Amino acid sequence: MASDEARWLSLERRAGETLRSALERSLRDAIVSRALRAGVRLPASRALAQQLGISRRVVSDAYNQLQAQGFLLSREREAPVVAEVQARNRVRAEADPPAPKLRHDLSATRPDVSLFPLTKWLAAAQRAARGGPAILDYRDARGERALRDVLADHLGRTRGVIADPAQILIVQGTAQGVDLVMRTLQARRASRVAVEDPSQTTARDRIAANGLAVVPQPVDSQGMVVSGLDADAVLVTPAHQFPTGCVLSEERRRQLIAWACANRALIIEDDYDAEFRYDREPVRALQGVAPEHVVQIGTVSKTLAPALRLGWLVVPSHLVDEVDRTKHLLDQFSPSLDQLTLAEFLTRGDYDRHVRRARGVYRGRRDRLIEGLTKHLPELKVEGVAAGLHLLLRTPAWVDDRAIAQDARSAGIRVAALASFRIVPANSGGLVIGYGRVPESAIEPAVRDLARCVRPHL
């Protein structure tokens, strides 16, 4: 820490306090409260004395006393460094029971980031950086035009999306995409947003956080039930419903679009993992059928890596200016260099090559997982189309799937209960099992250990 970084420090003497005692107390309080964190280098005694208008001897004496008490570390001819000490009001780590060691990660929403093509990504970033200093300046809230152009072509080719680049906004993942749409709906005085039940809890939280009512809509083997839908907008995962893994049927797709047209309502299509379909081509995006009634949300969090925080919205023309303004107010624009890197990645075909490779890896893991479940839990049914990073293992109605998930956690297995994604309790349960984070060679022992947790409940 440079000496000028402690200029906020002031010296206020209390009644009967010497200068040295006052300085010692002020520094000690700052260290214990973590205003001065462990490892921070304090100003040299001469510099701090000049800053506070006191003698160097007072500072040296205070430093020596704090060193003797274990608050500072110092070496000869070097300014002191703050030591690691117990923070004030800090909860002791021992207060929480230690988490069991994770042996098998069967999370339903996490991709294998070890597949990320880092070398090619860095090469693309270097090419993008050659754009010069201008790319580091303030940028368009909608995102880099180069990325929006190539995304319009890519989404049209792979998902049947109909979009002018002006209708595409680059966002920081699905999380920001949902939040932006909710903020826009709230500004338009919408009050109710329907969601699939079961569905991802974080999306529901974002709806509620924007002051909108969450309306649960049941899901069956054909996807979300459209009959009885009463809301200003609906958030759906039609290509691969999360977490049941079904696909919205053709009849339900027609019903949903007809409902949106008749009620001037908005469909928010979360296309979170549509590029991972293993047995056939995925169904066309709803946006491509009714572009003026659908906001399509996409992301590279599953295909590349969540930490990139790169996603997009394809917005109907009558809404795009409002969403653009909201994005600008929220964070002005998303990081430009990463956007331009993704544009390079798409343009040169590196993205498609990576997706094909990852698709083969995940398909192999899914096949191995089904083999293991058939062997060790043959009485339970596996559901969900061959897609994405998870499947659903149904359990009998009398079984508490939350209790199974808790027993699995105690055994070091991370797996989710279907009930944890529900809004309205139901008489059917299951385990939502992911294969994104578990190597193919580890799937057999993972399923065997999971079966040991499941069987007592059966």
For residue 277, the 8-state DSSP code is B
Question: Do the Cβ atoms of 453 and 414 come closer than 8 Å?
Answer: no
Least confident of 81-95, 117-131, 288-302: 81-95
Question: Do the Cβ atoms of 309 and 300 come closer than 8 Å?
Answer: no
Q: Strands across the sheet with 390-395, in order?
A: 382-383, 390-395, 429-434, 416-417
Question: Do the Cβ atoms of 104 and 414 come closer than 8 Å?
Answer: yes
CA 270 to chain centre: 14
**Residue recorded with tokens 């479940």:** 373
Question: Do the Cβ atoms of 43 and 49 come closer than 8 Å?
Answer: no
Question: Do the Cβ atoms of 225 and 232 come closer than 8 Å?
Answer: no
Distance, in Å, from the CA atom of 68 to the CA atom of 83, rounded to the nearest integer, reads 11
Annotate 372-433 with DSSP letters as a single string. HHHHH-TTSPEES-SBTTEEEEEE-TTS-HHHHHHHHHHTTEE-EEGGGG-SS--S-EEEEE
| H or E element in which residue 121 lies | helix 118-129
CA distances from 31 to 8, 81, 82, 306, 337 (A): 14, 11, 7, 35, 38
Least confident of 91-95, 240-244, 390-394, 411-415: 91-95
Question: Do the Cβ atoms of 286 and 269 come closer than 8 Å?
Answer: yes
Residue 211 confidence (pLDDT) = 95
Distance, in Å, from the CA atom of 410 to the CA atom of 421, rounded to the nearest integer, reads 20
| Sign of the torsion angle spanned by Cα atoms 18, 20, 22, 24 | negative
Q: Could you report the per-residue pLDDT of 427-437, keeping only the tens digit for each?
A: 889 999 999 99
- Domains in the chain: ranges and CATH: 3-82 (1.10.10.10), 104-112+353-457 (3.90.1150.10), 118-351 (3.40.640.10)
**Residue recorded with tokens 């890896």:** 361
Q: Specify the amino acid at residue 94.
A: E
Exposed/middle/buried for 386, CB within 10 Å: 0-12, 13-18, 19+?
Answer: middle
Backbone angles phi, psi at 399, to 5 degrees: -90, 135
Distance, in Å, from the CA atom of 445 to the CA atom of 106, rounded to the nearest integer, reads 12
Q: Which of 222, 332, 200 is nearest to 268 (CA)?
A: 200
**Mean pLDDT across 115-119:** 97
Angle subtended by helix axes 173-187 and 320-331, to nearest 10: 120
**pLDDT band with cut points at 50, 70 and 90 for residue 1:** very low
Residue 89 confidence (pLDDT) = 47
Least confident of 94-98, 183-187, 244-248, 446-450: 94-98
Q: Give the pTM.
A: 0.82
Backbone angles phi, psi at 387, to 5 degrees: -160, 165
Q: Could you report the per-residue pLDDT of 377-414, keeping only the tens digit for each?
A: 999 999 999 999 999 999 999 999 999 999 999 999 99
- Between β-strands 311-314 and 168-171, what pairing exists: parallel, antiparallel or unpaired? antiparallel
Which two structure tokens, joined as six digits, stand for 89? 């009001």
Cβ neighbors of 451 (< 8 A, separation 6 or more) are: 376, 377
Question: Do the Cβ atoms of 423 and 217 come closer than 8 Å?
Answer: no
Q: Degrees (nearest 5) of the Cα angle 307, 311, 315? A: 165
Cβ neighbors of 253 (< 8 A, separation 6 or more) are: 238, 283, 286, 289
| H or E element in which residue 313 lies | strand 311-314
- Between β-strands 223-224 and 104-105, what pairing exists: parallel, antiparallel or unpaired? unpaired
Q: Could you report the per-residue pLDDT of 261-275, keeping only the tens digit for each?
A: 999 999 999 999 989
Which two structure tokens, joined as six digits, stand for 17? 């306090």
Residue, of 64 and 8, whose pLDDT is higher:
64
Residue 366 confidence (pLDDT) = 98
Quote the percentage of the chain above a pLDDT of 70.
Answer: 95
